[in-house]
Structure 1
Amino acid sequence: MAATEVILLQRVEHLGQMGDVVKVRPGFARNYLLPQGKAIRANDDNRARFERERVQLEAQNIKRREEAERLSERMEGLAVILIRQAGDSGSLYGSVSTRDVAQAVTEAGFTISRQQVFLAHPIKSLGVYEVKIALHPEVVVPVIINVARSEEEAERQARGEAASPEEEAEIAGDDAVVEGELITDPAEIAEAEAAPAEANA
């Protein structure tokens, strides 16, 4: 099937910058780029329209980027806890999806949509993860997602502490394959959790 030519109205990861004319799969254009307003078809009328409106579009983009940068400063060091049921191996009954992450971040006071969450695969195991949130095509902020069975377990995971002997026995033999960016180094976890305190200092 022939590729579709589009003009990007904003930066799109792995595709190009605003104003670039790129060739994409027809389905990608039809189902994602065009309906989300990220691009327009590269026909003569649209090329002329883009050139007429380029300055205005670039000004709007700069304004949105500046707003996203201010929001990213407020979100710096954000850590949210998701309480989930899990088996003895630490594998979740179910998984944590982009929708779950978006809801948790929104409940923490920052309204985002699931489309803004970068998650290559659903999270399927307990642990502390770094998930990237796209506030703007050019502004991405990391958020710490702490998936635990209880608030107490989440606090221990955040400190990088081992579980109690009873819990160790319960989760012994954990051979679950963890997908995503799992933070296992206690120093990294402590550093990620300390960030909000430093930001407020």
Structure 2
Amino acid sequence: MEIILKQDVKNLGEKDDIVNVKPGYGRNFLLPKGMAVLATESNKKVLAENIRQAQFKQDKVKKDAEKIAEGLKDVSLKVGAKAGENGKIFGAVNALQIAEAIKKLGYEVDRRKITFDSDVKFLGNYIANVNLHKDVKVQVPFEVAAE
């Protein structure tokens, strides 16, 4: 039985994939739960049109992400934090602080897309990994300085 997935299904495929499944699995589980539709000719044409439109939107998002990445490539940020005598800061520098520092430069980046290789708990230089798109990633160096 050939079906089109409407959402990601573990161990089967991702959204908009056309997959072959056993008839009972498709008829009794996937179709009633709204996870898939039958892969008829008309549904395949609708899927192709939806994919074409989504691709156009994805290209625009990717171009915007590349533009931001180009602007962040040669930037070095400075983040202030209260620190003790031995250089250990109170708390930790988090993605929200990095996102705010990037926003001051004129770029809008979602804080959930910023990760660190290690915890930022001491004064010094670190690197923030900014995932702007699944194909566009940029590393932004930043310095944690005492306030």
Residue 85 of structure 1 corresponds to which residue in structure 2? 82
1:44 is matched with which residue: 32, 37, 42?
37
Contact in 2 for aligned 1:98/1:122 (Cα 8 Å): no
Query: How far off is 1:44 after superposition?
Result: 1.7
In structure 1, the gaps of 5 or more residues are 9-15, 22-40, 151-201
Query: Highest CA radius of gyration, 1 or 2?
Result: 2
Residue 7 of structure 2 corresponds to which residue in structure 1? 6
Residues 118-129 of structure 1 correspond to what in structure 2 (within 5 A)? 118-119=115-116, 122-129=119-126
Contact in 1 for aligned 2:117/2:128 (Cα 8 Å): no
Residue 57 of structure 1 corresponds to which residue in structure 2? 54
2:96 is matched with which residue: 99, 104, 120?
99
Give the direction of change, closer, same or farther, for the CA distance of 1:139–1:19 in structure 2 (3 Å limit).
farther
Query: How far off is 1:148 after superposition?
Result: 0.9
**Alpha-carbon distance between aligned partners in 2 of 1:57 and 1:131, rounded to the nearest angstrom:** 30
TM-score by length of 1: 0.50
Residue 134 of structure 2 corresponds to which residue in structure 1? 137
Q: Which has the higher helix share?
A: 1
Give the direction of change, closer, same or farther, for the CA distance of 1:50–1:114 in structure 2 (3 Å limit).
farther
Give the direction of change, closer, same or farther, for the CA distance of 1:18–1:63 in structure 2 (3 Å limit).
farther
AA in 2 matched with 1:145: F
Deviations along 1:48-80, whole A, 9 cap, x unmatched? 464440011112111211221122112211111
In structure 2, the gaps of 5 or more residues are 1-5, 19-33
**Alpha-carbon distance between aligned partners in 1 of 2:74 and 2:64, rounded to the nearest angstrom:** 18
1:71 aligns with 2:72: no
- Give me the CA root mean square deviation: 2.9
AA in 1 matched with 2:124: G
Give the direction of change, closer, same or farther, for the CA distance of 1:44–1:147 in structure 2 (3 Å limit).
same
Give the direction of change, closer, same or farther, for the CA distance of 1:42–1:121 in structure 2 (3 Å limit).
farther
**Alpha-carbon distance between aligned partners in 1 of 2:7 and 2:123, rounded to the nearest angstrom:** 42
TM-score by length of 2: 0.67
Deviations along 1:60-114, whole A, 9 cap, x unmatched? 1112112211221122111110111111221111111111111111112211121
Q: Which runs of 4+ in 1 moved over 6 A?
A: none
**Alpha-carbon distance between aligned partners in 2 of 1:120 and 1:6, rounded to the nearest angstrom:** 31
AA in 2 matched with 1:69: E
SS in 2 for 1:70: helix
